[in-house]
């Protein structure tokens, strides 16, 4: 068992071992460019919901494209009677995403069901996350220190950016339990794909079907792009998208 940080009660860590993606799936998604549009189309084909647009979850690093297994965090506004100023004076920090970094496996993506109007994760935390092998974070709510995380190459997809810290205002209530981001349920172990266009959440039990369909569509798209570049008439472009 990993040594805990003590930032959250051990019983609030719902899962010590997060399920891993089926063998080879992560590599196959990387091979088609971690393309959220392609994955979203495949999920539509199988009637599976699970997309979040980049217009809402805005990426902090243009061109970043990642895939990995979800490690989850759930925050809520603190119910403490102390004011944020009083908590700051006594150093009562309720945030515990550091323990999620500690629990994560290399290649994971942090998913935070956070609090709006303030930061749920900042620059030092992103540095620690990167050191632990986390490839990026999806955050419902604010983040801060964007210049710092950009400098170290740690991408966020977040709904807000705010300098106001959550340390004295937020409590982390659960790690590696189910979370929900704007109607999309995410379980620890779900496969996250994120790029400039948005975020997709793939249930691992359907991953092979989804990725196989996306691979077929990617191969067709490669042919179509080549034909367009060569001046082929639009009526003669190869193939058709599957219905």
Q: Residues forming the annotated binding site?
A: 144-145
* C-alpha–C-alpha distance, residues 160 and 182, integer Å: 14
Report the binding-site residues for Mg(2+): 145
* C-alpha–C-alpha distance, residues 16 and 165, integer Å: 28
* C-alpha–C-alpha distance, residues 225 and 204, integer Å: 30
* C-alpha–C-alpha distance, residues 192 and 203, integer Å: 9
Report the binding-site residues for substrate: 144
Cite the DSSP H helix spans in 36-153. 36-45, 84-89, 97-103, 123-131, 146-152
* C-alpha–C-alpha distance, residues 126 and 134, integer Å: 9
């Amino acid at each position: 068992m990993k040594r805990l940080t003590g930032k959250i009660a051990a019983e609030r860590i719902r899962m010590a071992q997060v399920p891993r993606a089926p063998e080879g799936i992560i590599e196959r998604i990387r091979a088609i460019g971690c393309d959220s549009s392609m994955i979203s189309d495949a999920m539509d084909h199988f009637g599976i919901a699970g997309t979040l647009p980049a217009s809402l979850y805005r990426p902090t690093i243009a061109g970043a494209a990642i895939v990995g297994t979800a490690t989850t965090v759930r925050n809520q506004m603190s119910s403490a009677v102390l004011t944020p100023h009083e908590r700051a004076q006594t150093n009562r920090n309720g945030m515990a995403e550091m323990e999620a970094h500690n629990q994560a496996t290399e290649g994971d993506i942090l998913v935070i069901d956070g609090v709006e109007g303030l930061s749920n994760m900042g620059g030092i935390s992103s540095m620690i996350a990167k050191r632990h092998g986390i490839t990026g974070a999806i955050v419902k709510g604010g983040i801060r220190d964007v210049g710092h995380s950009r400098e170290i190459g740690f991408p966020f997809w977040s709904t807000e950016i705010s300098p106001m810290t959550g340390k004295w205002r937020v409590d982390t209530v659960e790690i590696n339990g189910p979370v929900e981001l704007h109607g999309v349920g995410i379980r620890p172990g779900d496969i996250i794909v994120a790029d400039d266009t948005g975020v997709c959440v793939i249930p691992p039990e359907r991953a092979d079907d989804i990725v196989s369909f996306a691979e077929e569509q990617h191969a067709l798209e490669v042919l179509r792009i080549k034909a367009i570049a060569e001046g082929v008439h639009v009526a003669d472009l190869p193939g058709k998208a599957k219905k």
